[in-house]
Structure 1
Amino acid sequence: MKSEQIKDLLGRMTLEEKVGQLSQITGEHYVGKVNEEMVETGPDFSSLSIKEEALYTIGSIIGVSSAKITNLIQAEYLKKSRLKIPLLFMHDAIHGYKTIFPIPLALSCSWDEEVVQKTAEEIASELRAAGIHVNFSPMVDLVRDARWGRVMESFGEDPILSGVLGKAMVRGYQKSDGRQIPQDGVASCLKHFAAYGGAIAGKDYNAVDMSMREFFEYYGKTYEIALEENPRFVMSSFNSFNGVPVSASKELLRDILQTKYHFEDILISDWGSVAELQNHRVAASPKEAADLAIQAGIEIEMVSTTYLQYLEELIEENPALLEYVDRAVLKILHLKNDLGLFENPYVDEEKEKTHHLKEETLRFAKEASKKSCVLLKNNQVLPINKNTKRILIVGPFSSTRQLLGNWHCKGKFEDVISLKEGLIDVAPQLEVQAYETLEECPAQAMRNCDFILVAIGENWQLSGEGHSSVQLELEPLQRQLIKDVKSLGIPYACICFSGRPLALQNIVDDIPALLWSWFPGTQAGTAIAELIMGKDTPSGKLTMSFPRHSAQVPIYYNEYSSGRPANDSSYSNRYQDCEIGPLFNFGHGLTYTNTTYSDFQLSDENITENNEIIISFKIHNPSDYDYSEIVILYIEDVISQTIRPEREMKKFKTIPIAAKQSVKASMTIQMDDLKYVNSKLKRTIERGNFNIYINDTTKPIFTIEY
């Protein structure tokens, strides 16, 4: 359909039909509840009335899956729709649809844009085969507090890394540099704008209160970067920001998102957040909530129905609102056209069967899982010795298939490879037995085993939306299990599964080797087995700091410099009953390679607007592993007029290095990398020195001058 035809279609729409396009509801209104094919991810708003005639003006449906059901609803809708404008179907495939990949926090530990983009491409293909057009992903909310359940959906605590990986995911979903989205792509929805990850005390849906400098330099930076890839949607966040609920904030949605960050596409609310303006007590009625939201810029109301009930009345009272409505409807019609829905609103049901859990997708999912694991500790225990014949796996994750993590969409546990199954498959020469507790293990098996894997962690249901926690320590039974295994005198290592960093200070000394697997997805067991058996090396690095104790959060690497830096003195920036710093810091991650860096060179010691600086160096991989080394560049502004963090990550690269080989590498610093937002909200730089660090944040390799 040409642009002129779309404008003509808009001109033929009634006000009721326009309002319908700005409303999103669940699918059972058309065909009833269909078992697993309809998913609700928020509170029930079914008590809100929807007129029969309004059902056939609706613009989009949330939570419906499968080609059969999307086709069924689409057909029922179009049969009674006056203008035959097809429905959009939207879903939350956060880290997979049927094939489940590592949770986003795990994926970020690969530091690999190509892996993240390819993951999104595979998810998009499975979604589109099921008749879904829009994915509510990626989430680029900056996170610093592991108590918040949604850290699992994030890319960690650094704004640049979060923004860059967010861009990669948008690119993968949409599969297009232009407006047209191919038949195996979906529209991406960037979320949640804004600062949702900064909720006070890590409580989901809680208020956010921060300076605008903090916002523009850190929390807002993630969206600013990711928006460069032109996602077709942005979702507003549940939280209030400096006293105003985001879904009612003209400052955030119009002044910052649309004007400052130049977002011109569709702005959608989160589940029920327009109606919930009444709970915030900024709206006395649903009508007032609708008025606040439309004026703030919300263009699609998700699930709640204040627009359906009151927007026509509001326009009669304030005709200027019609301009907002027309502009929003035009964007929605253009998206439906760019997806090719006017020509073909249906999906091939037979094609769906061949697009889910494909062998090549599963192979890639295994590689993504391996790159996402982080080896946190290793006292020469891993990889497992080749002479090992009998392995005992103990712990609550020893043979479970519940390794997908929260938000696992249509993934099924029966499709997952457990740790036990993966080990048997990867090392068939081994004798493998698995038990949840040592008490279940036969004495003979205990005496005969050569190595013990302790499979521990946090149940997948304890992280995700609405799952904030004050307790980040391993549960007591698991801590005791580790101590009991240690007392046996048999070589052992720990594999940990979780959706967030955990606090391990009280048990870490009893762990000789620790592989942090997060929730690795469908190919979990095989990926982990290949790493611990030495068929490949762990290579991931943390993107979120691990606290020593629960009470140490929020904790993050880029803390501001203090007038009394942390030291052994009582009069310094520290806790009196806790060691200084995180247990495992941002950027930490071990390999089996013993890789070394050498021959550091600097192209120039002075930087200007027209003179970038190139840092070159050599990386040597003496091991038998082909792998990708993660290189992270940090800066330290030695003196600045406004306080800056002790260290700031500015550039990163994943560099493939073949076994027994050396490679030359380089990283470039431009003037913009050294600038910051000052107390007057101006992006600036002052004359002076900057220390440059590569991976090791304790020793600068160079000092440059501006």
Structure 2
Amino acid sequence: RNTGLMKQAAAITAYEVRASGIPWNFNPVLGMGRQPLWPRLWETFGEDPYLTSEMAEAYVKGSEGDDNNVAAKDKVAACMKHYLGYSVPLSGKDRTPAWIPERMLRDIFLPPFKRAVDAGVHTVMVNSTEINGIPAHSDHYLLTEVLRNELGFKGFVVSDWEDVNRLYSRDKVAASRQEAVKMAVMAGVDMSMVPYDFSFYNDLLDLANSGEVPMWRIDEAVGRILRVKYQLGLFENPYPDKSLAANVSSEASVQTSLQAAREAMTLLKNRDNFLPLRKDMKVLVTGPTANLRSVLNGGWTYTWQGNAESLYPKEKLTILEAVQAKLGKSQVTYQPGADFDKVLDLAKTVEAARAADVAVVCIGEATYCETPGNIHDLNISPAQMELALALEKSGTPVVLVLVEGRPRVITPAVEDASAILMAYLPGPEGGRAVADVLFGDYNPGGKLPITYPRSSNDLVCYDYKPVEIDDSNKMNPLWLFGHGLSYTTYTYQNLKLDKKKIGEDETLNVSLTVTNSGKMAGKEVVELYLSDLVRSVSPPVRQLKRFQGVYLKPGESQTVQFTLSSADLTFHGRNNKITLEAGEFMVAVGDLSDTFELVLPQDKAQK
């Protein structure tokens, strides 16, 4: 929850991409991470549209600059993707159909793309599959009517890999490859991604010569592409600035990577303040993610699937190596314990645990991306669960470290774990970040961007509808979106609303005092949630509307302020139009809450 750090990370990425001679970066991913089976969940910013929108703007501005001057030698054209609805396939499998009602599409999935467009993003990549039976690459409504006419996007649209041809070969909405090209181009696709297959070019040339694709559409697409190339300065200077190479992987960039990993670390459980660990402890480190660099980085790293372990720089530490560096090798024992599919000398691992003061059990996922990452079961692999349960029965306290791109179900191991740390895919400095948190050199302050399910069939997001928690459907995740513990305690007090009633053109100022009431300095992300108590379309129980990080020393207090407007109270009504309704709303921050009323004129009770 740090947009400044996100913007900085995007700027570093842009610098290093441009230094390598590439002026275009296929990021940010703005799909909503609301289907935990999906193998690209880890590429998203999570399940919430407001959080994703904030990160979208930060990433675009970091990549392109505040003024979107992408001709600058250290900036690139960003590419928001995958437009639209790619991230919630009904089956959970990559590139399979999604079914998203229009209201949900507009309330949840469209806002991050709108924010990126408003931030000046130059390009967009299309959803690789279909929504409601219509493949996105053939969807004129989404690619032209919504993207161009409603959102006002001015850049160019690029296909995803091979997906124009797949309108014919896979989706069966085109009778031939040439018809697929016509459908895509007339729907609004300006560029085919595949660079070394000339069939798109040949088919489009035939279609243009026959008049089936009019020249105005060719001119329009070419003009959009050339405009971005011109804005990038490629006609005047197509080559990279060689001077940039000197600062690739600079120490400042490495420190930013480390800080990003530290801030992401999310402490899910800490029974009796078991963490942080003392540095005089004897530690067993075990599990399949304990001594691999690849799993800290995930897919799209060095290779497509990111699993070429030999390519990773040896100076980047695994979790095991980082713990050894912090304590000294004499205090640390390593046993593999298990790989992702089978246990490895379990009796020896249990014996090593009994000889240690604590067992750090690193479990999670092997590297993957896209379709090879498809799974049939959200439960963590049986071998890893067997390892965790055996060590929990050893009598030695167990700390679970989750290195994973999806919330794999670990419920049987939760109760007896002394602590659980969610590390996600923390990047090249992830090993150091995990060790820093485990041993108290960094106080964790991360908050879950997703809801962590208790079972593989309990897949509900935090902004659920009231019916989803009634007596028969009670929602019961392990941890909700926004959960995250600290080594200190924070006290929220004095929630104040400057008005009890606001009109359509007024703002509501919300303030509260946050105090570090513990013994360790730390950063707390203060989140403001809004609930619409009654409206014409059943409301979510709560929605994130603002967040702010505050760093506090022990005993220090700070006043945190938020401002809401009537735009924060809108939704898409029964007619699928943006709607503002008079009524009562609740603001909640931490364990504090208060209500206010939106008042509209009698003839505008619903607008």
Does the TM-score normalized on the shorter chain lie above 0.5? yes
List per-residue Cα deviations over 1:98-121 (Å, max 9, x = no partner).
xxxxxxxxxxxxx11011111111
3-state SS of paired residue (1:226): helix
Residue of 249, 252, 259 corresponding to 1:367 = 259
List per-residue Cα deviations over 1:341-396 (Å, max 9, x = no partner).
222222255753x3332222111111100111111111035433436332111211
Tell me what 1:566 maps to: 470
Residue of 200, 207, 230 corresponding to 1:337 = 230
Note if contact 1:174-1:188 (Cα within 8 Å) is conserved in structure 2. yes
Tell me what 2:334 maps to: 434
1:423 to 2:318 alignment:
no
3-state SS of paired residue (1:510): coil
Tell me what 2:541 maps to: 646
1:453 to 2:360 alignment:
yes
Report the RMSD for the aligned CA atoms in angstroms: 2.2
Residue of 440, 448, 460 corresponding to 1:534 = 440
3-state SS of paired residue (1:482): helix
Change (3 A) 1:409 1:701: farther
Report the Cα offset of residue 337 of structure 1: 2.4
Tell me what 2:400 maps to: 494
Report the Cα offset of residue 253 of structure 1: 0.4
Question: May I ask how many residue pairs the two structures share in their alignment?
Answer: 581
Report the Cα offset of residue 418 of structure 1: 0.5
In the alignment, residue 297 of structure 1 is paired with which amino acid? Answer: G
Change (3 A) 1:480 1:528: same
3-state SS of paired residue (2:109): helix
In the alignment, residue 432 of structure 1 is paired with which amino acid? Answer: V
In the alignment, residue 470 of structure 2 is paired with which amino acid? Answer: A
Q: Give the Cα–Cα distance (whole angstroms) in 2 for the partners of residues 566 and 585 of structure 1.
A: 17
Change (3 A) 1:407 1:624: farther
Gaps in structure 1 of 5+ consecutive residues? 1-110, 575-579
Tell me what 1:225 maps to: 115
1:281 to 2:172 alignment:
yes
Q: Give the Cα–Cα distance (whole angstroms) in 2 for the partners of residues 445 and 198 of structure 1.
A: 43
Gaps in structure 2 of 5+ consecutive residues? 338-344, 600-607
Q: Give the Cα–Cα distance (whole angstroms) in 1 for the partners of residues 236 and 51 of structure 2.
A: 39
Tell me what 1:471 maps to: 377
Residue of 272, 282, 296 corresponding to 2:187 = 296
1:133 to 2:23 alignment:
yes
1:347 to 2:240 alignment:
yes
Q: Give the Cα–Cα distance (whole angstroms) in 2 for the partners of residues 439 and 378 of structure 1.
A: 26
Q: Give the Cα–Cα distance (whole angstroms) in 2 for the partners of residues 173 and 182 of structure 1.
A: 11
List per-residue Cα deviations over 1:617-661 (Å, max 9, x = no partner).
111113454432111111111111111111111112222323431
Note if contact 2:85-2:100 (Cα within 8 Å) is conserved in structure 1. no
Residue of 234, 238, 251 corresponding to 2:124 = 234
Tell me what 1:145 maps to: 35
List per-residue Cα deviations over 1:140-180 (Å, max 9, x = no partner).
01121111101011111111111210111111111241444
Q: How does 1:7-26 map to 2 (within 5 A)?
A: none
Tell me what 1:584 maps to: 479
In the alignment, residue 560 of structure 1 is paired with which amino acid? Answer: K
In the alignment, residue 479 of structure 2 is paired with which amino acid? Answer: F
Change (3 A) 1:319 1:385: closer
Q: Give the Cα–Cα distance (whole angstroms) in 1 for the partners of residues 406 and 511 of structure 2.
A: 35
Tell me what 1:511 maps to: 417
Residue of 292, 297, 302 corresponding to 1:400 = 292
In the alignment, residue 515 of structure 1 is paired with which amino acid? Answer: L
Change (3 A) 1:195 1:442: closer
Note if contact 1:391-1:430 (Cα within 8 Å) is conserved in structure 2. no
Report the Cα offset of residue 483 of structure 1: 2.0
In the alignment, residue 366 of structure 2 is paired with which amino acid? Answer: N
Report the Cα offset of residue 587 of structure 1: 0.8
Residue of 46, 57, 61 corresponding to 1:171 = 61
Change (3 A) 1:617 1:700: closer
Q: Give the Cα–Cα distance (whole angstroms) in 1 for the partners of residues 175 and 540 of structure 2.
A: 42
1:195 to 2:195 alignment:
no
When normalised by structure 2's length, the TM-score is 0.91
Note if contact 2:37-2:93 (Cα within 8 Å) is conserved in structure 1. yes
In the alignment, residue 378 of structure 1 is paired with which amino acid? Answer: N
Residue of 263, 282, 301 corresponding to 2:153 = 263
Note if contact 2:488-2:521 (Cα within 8 Å) is conserved in structure 1. no
In the alignment, residue 240 of structure 1 is paired with which amino acid? Answer: E
- Which shows bigger deviation, 378-387 or 359-368? 378-387
Q: Give the Cα–Cα distance (whole angstroms) in 1 for the partners of residues 569 and 70 of structure 2.
A: 37
When normalised by structure 1's length, the TM-score is 0.79
Q: Give the Cα–Cα distance (whole angstroms) in 2 for the partners of residues 386 and 544 of structure 1.
A: 31
- Which shows bigger deviation, 670-679 or 330-339? 330-339
Identity of aligned residues (%): 28
In the alignment, residue 167 of structure 1 is paired with which amino acid? Answer: E
List per-residue Cα deviations over 1:543-592 (Å, max 9, x = no partner).
11111111223x20112232x8422xxxx334xxxxx3211111111111
Tell me what 1:155 maps to: 45
Change (3 A) 1:158 1:491: same
Q: Give the Cα–Cα distance (whole angstroms) in 1 for the partners of residues 585 and 350 of structure 2.
A: 61
Change (3 A) 1:363 1:382: farther
Q: Give the Cα–Cα distance (whole angstroms) in 2 for the partners of residues 357 and 442 of structure 1.
A: 38
Report the Cα offset of residue 703 of structure 1: 4.2
List per-residue Cα deviations over 1:202-261 (Å, max 9, x = no partner).
121111222211111111222112221111101111111222211111101000001011
Change (3 A) 1:272 1:387: closer
In the alignment, residue 27 of structure 2 is paired with which amino acid? Answer: S
Q: Give the Cα–Cα distance (whole angstroms) in 2 for the partners of residues 693 and 465 of structure 1.
A: 40
Tell me what 2:604 maps to: none
Note if contact 1:600-1:618 (Cα within 8 Å) is conserved in structure 2. yes
Q: Give the Cα–Cα distance (whole angstroms) in 2 for the partners of residues 309 and 582 of structure 1.
A: 53
Note if contact 1:399-1:419 (Cα within 8 Å) is conserved in structure 2. yes
Report the Cα offset of residue 441 of structure 1: 4.6
Q: Give the Cα–Cα distance (whole angstroms) in 1 for the partners of residues 238 and 260 of structure 2.
A: 33
Residue of 191, 200, 203 corresponding to 1:310 = 203
Note if contact 2:117-2:153 (Cα within 8 Å) is conserved in structure 1. yes
Tell me what 2:278 maps to: 386
Change (3 A) 1:251 1:671: same
Residue of 502, 506, 509 corresponding to 1:607 = 502
Change (3 A) 1:387 1:122: closer
3-state SS of paired residue (2:40): helix
3-state SS of paired residue (1:197): coil
In the alignment, residue 260 of structure 1 is paired with which amino acid? Answer: E
Report the Cα offset of residue 531 of structure 1: 0.6
Q: Give the Cα–Cα distance (whole angstroms) in 2 for the partners of residues 516 and 595 of structure 1.
A: 21
